[in-house]
């Protein structure tokens, strides 16, 4: 991961994922690619609040990571299930889903 990839990720989040005006927050570790001013500026320009987990404390924050990941997985599964139940992408020419 580098600064350019992170800035592209911000563009992706803004263009493809976040279609709301709700507040946004990015929680990240202290990897140097995330800490470049150009990356921070890109997040701020797109109304993201940045929260950095200080170096060496990721393991202490693991319960937060688990809580966020579980919530994400649960919601992803729910959305996937609804998508499949509503026909999903249909079938291929070979009859595969």
- C-alpha to C-alpha distance for 2 and 60, rounded to whole angstroms: 25
pLDDT for position 21: 73
- C-alpha to C-alpha distance for 23 and 2, rounded to whole angstroms: 25
pLDDT for position 64: 67
pLDDT for position 1: 67
Q: What string of pLDDT tens digits covers the 97 residues of the chain?
A: 688 888 898 898 888 777 777 788 888 877 777 778 998 899 888 888 988 888 888 777 777 667 777 888 899 999 999 988 888 877 777 877 6
pLDDT for position 97: 67
Torsion, Cα 53 54 58 63, to 10 degrees, reads -50
| Model-wide pTM > 0.75 | no
pLDDT for position 81: 92
Instruction: Compute how many other C-beta atoms are within 10 angstroms of the C-beta atom of residue 52.
Output: 15
CA-closest candidate to residue 10, choices 37, 36, 55, 48: 48
Chain-centroid distance of CA 74 in Å reads: 15
């Amino acid at each position: 991961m580098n600064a350019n990839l992170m800035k592209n990720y911000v563009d992706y989040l803004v263009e493809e994922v976040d279609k709301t005006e709700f507040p946004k927050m990015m929680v990240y570790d202290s990897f140097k690619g995330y800490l470049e001013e150009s990356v921070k500026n890109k997040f701020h320009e797109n109304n993201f609040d940045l929260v950095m987990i200080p170096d060496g404390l990721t393991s202490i924050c693991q319960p937060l990571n688990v809580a966020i990941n579980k919530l994400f997985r649960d919601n992803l599964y729910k959305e996937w299930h609804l998508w499949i139940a509503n026909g999903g992408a249909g079938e291929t020419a070979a009859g595969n889903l």
